[in-house]
Structures are given as structure tokens and as C-alpha cells.
Amino acid sequence: MRGHSGGCLSLGKGMPITASIKQKINTRSSTETELVAVDDFMPQILWTNLFMEAQGYKTQDTVLHQDNQSTILLEKNGAASSSKRTKHIHCRYYFITDRINSGDLSVQYCPTGDMIGDFFTKPLQGQLFIKFRRLIMNLPE
């Protein structure tokens, strides 16, 4: 099945860069879907860091939030964390492992209830919708 990727990039407060993309390939698991989503957003993350540095701003730690523990292991360890269920994943999706090892970004676990990217992929209602809308648009509480 094809997954749906949602992501946003914050520079302090608010989210100047957001995206919601239907993935172009079929994936076999939620772990693989998350890995493909990260690969889809890596160019935007890296380009923004390079652009900010070219403008004379020192970028602080770039943190990628992830709510899938298996994906975090694959991102940090690359193919070394592969098992028989993930050995089919193409090596191009381990580009993030090189970026983590070089110190360009880090990956941190974020519970699903706090994952702002879900705003772009799931129909949210009530308090969760209001919470994420406020964060994305930098609205006061």
C-alpha cells in the first residue's frame, strides 16, 4: 500500500515549511513508510540548513522527531539494524544514517500525541486539532 507523508519544519516558532505528500512507492510496513517519508523530506531539511548558514545564521541542532521506534533504529544504525522483515528496503533510504553520523541532524522519539506532522496526514478533531493548528500558525494560547 502507499503511505502518506506529512512534515513540517520550524525555525523557532511557527512552521514556515510544511508538506503533505502521497508517497510514490508501495511499502510493506509502517516502518518502511516512515523511512520513505524521512527520505522525502531530507532535501528540504538540508537545503534549509545550508540556506540559513549562507545568510550568516548559525544553525543549532537540527532535530528530526519520529514516533516509530523501529524506524529510529534503522535511521541511526542503517542496514545494520535490518532483520528479515526489513532487508528488502533499498539502501537509498539509509541516506539519513550518513547525515546522523556526520552530525548534520539527530533523531529523537516523539509520542504520537505530540507529533505535529500528523496534522498533515490524519483527520484530527477537537483539542488535538486546535493544539497543532496553534503550533503551526504560531497563534497565542
Q: For the domain that residue 53 is a member of, what is the CATH number?
A: 3.30.420
Contact residues for 51 (Cβ-Cβ < 8 A; gap 6+): none
Give tens-digit pLDDT for 104-120.
Answer: 889 999 888 788 877 77
Calculate mean pLDDT across residues 18-39.
81
Mean pLDDT for all residues in the chain: 81
Where on the phi/psi map is residue 57: left (φ > 0), alpha (ψ -120 to 50), or beta? beta
Of 30-34, 39-43, 83-87, 99-103, the range with the lowest mean pLDDT is: 83-87
How sure is the predictor about 40, in pLDDT bands with cuts at 50, 70 and 90? confident
Question: Which residue carries 533523531 as its cell?
Answer: 107
Give tens-digit pLDDT for 65-111.
Answer: 888 888 888 888 766 656 556 556 666 667 788 888 888 889 999 88
Contact residues for 5 (Cβ-Cβ < 8 A; gap 6+): 19, 20, 21, 22, 23, 33, 36, 37, 40, 41, 121
* Containing structural domain, residue 133: 2-137
For 10, 67, 73, the CA distances from 77, given in Å and listed in that order, are 26, 17, 6
Prediction pTM value: 0.76
| pLDDT at residue 118 in the model | 74
Total of domains in the chain: 1
Burial class (CB in 10 A: 0-12, 13-18, 19+), 109: exposed
| pLDDT at residue 54 in the model | 94
